[in-house]
């Protein structure tokens, strides 16, 4: 089953008199349960494609489908509703709320969807255990390492049990050991929960974890292939 599909998508940005075509007729589909990397150099269109799949932006032309629903022409509120119920995000700079603890950051999406207190407590506890941060539940982001913050962000992205997790350069601000731990955590959660992960990266140490690699260059898909195995590093 396809959790995401884009058909002949273009995205053009206009800044003054300068027009930039970030995507130029991209078509691809993401199946349920995949662990897929979007790779390519800076400016290749990876982040733009993630933003379109994540209902953060709209294509200039073409169609984007999430769970079979055409989201290309949804208004801002409708896109927000789609994100809230279906898509989780992991960002390069973690995007945690600095005044909240790890527990409270993970709990926030559950509050936004109106989940009851007992259910929230059970779900947050499950996720803290899943990312091995139960002992840091009451720590604020400034009391956590970069790798720990990103693991909190992974747990937060999973909180509402979305069908799809999108991660934009999830290890870019981490050293090699923490980057390895974050990727192993994402890989394990994909395998254990079946949630689909799509992540953008330009780091070859990271995209070797993927079971499928989609390569973009100058706004075009130039390679789309399934890896034979997941490489977990040295």
Domain of residue 37, CATH code: 3.40.50.300
pLDDT band at residue 234 under the 50/70/90 scheme: very low
Three-class SS state of 18: strand
Using alpha carbons only, give the angle 163, 106, 130 rounded to the nearest 5 degrees: 70
For position 208, what pLDDT does the model report? Answer: 85
* Number of domains present in the structure of the chain: 1
pLDDT band per the 50, 70, 90 thresholds, residue 227: low
pLDDT of residue 108: 95
Does residue 234 fall inside a structural domain? no
Q: Could you give phi then psi for residue 93, rounded to 5 degrees? A: -105, 25
Q: Report the C-alpha gap between 67 and 8 in whole angstroms.
A: 18
Structural domain of 8:
2-226
Q: Is 231 a domain residue?
A: no
Residues 134-151: tens digit of each pLDDT: 999 999 999 999 999 999
Mean pLDDT of 61-89: 91
Q: What are phi and psi of 222, to 5 degrees?
A: -110, -10
Q: Are strands 35-39 and 212-217 parallel, antiparallel or unpaired?
A: parallel
Answer yes or no: is 86 within a domain: yes
């Amino acid at each position: 089953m396809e959790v995401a599909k884009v058909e002949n998508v273009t995205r053009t940005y206009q800044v003054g008199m300068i027009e930039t075509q970030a995507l130029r007729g991209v078509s691809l589909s993401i199946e349920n349960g995949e662990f897929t990397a979007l790779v390519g150099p800076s400016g290749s269109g990876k982040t733009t494609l993630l933003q379109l799949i994540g209902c953060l932006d709209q294509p200039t032309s073409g169609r984007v489908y999430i769970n079979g629903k055409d989201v290309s022409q949804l208004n801002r509120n409708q896109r927000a509703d789609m994100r809230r119920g279906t898509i989780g995000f992991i960002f390069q700079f973690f995007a945690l709320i600095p005044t909240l603890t790890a527990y409270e950051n993970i709990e926030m999406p559950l509050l936004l969807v109106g989940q009851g207190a007992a259910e929230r407590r059970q779900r947050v506890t499950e996720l803290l255990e899943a990312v091995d941060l139960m002992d840091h539940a009451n720590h604020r982001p400034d009391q956590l390492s970069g790798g720990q913050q990103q693991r909190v962000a992974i747990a937060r992205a999973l909180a509402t049990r979305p069908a799809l997790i999108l991660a934009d350069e999830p290890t870019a601000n981490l050293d090699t050991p923490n980057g390895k731990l974050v990727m192993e955590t994402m890989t394990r959660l994909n395998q254990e929960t079946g949630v689909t992960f799509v992540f953008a990266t330009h780091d070859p140490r990271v995209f070797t974890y993927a079971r499928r690699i989609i390569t973009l260059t100058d706004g075009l898909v130039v390679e789309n292939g399934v890896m034979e195995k997941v490489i977990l590093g040295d």
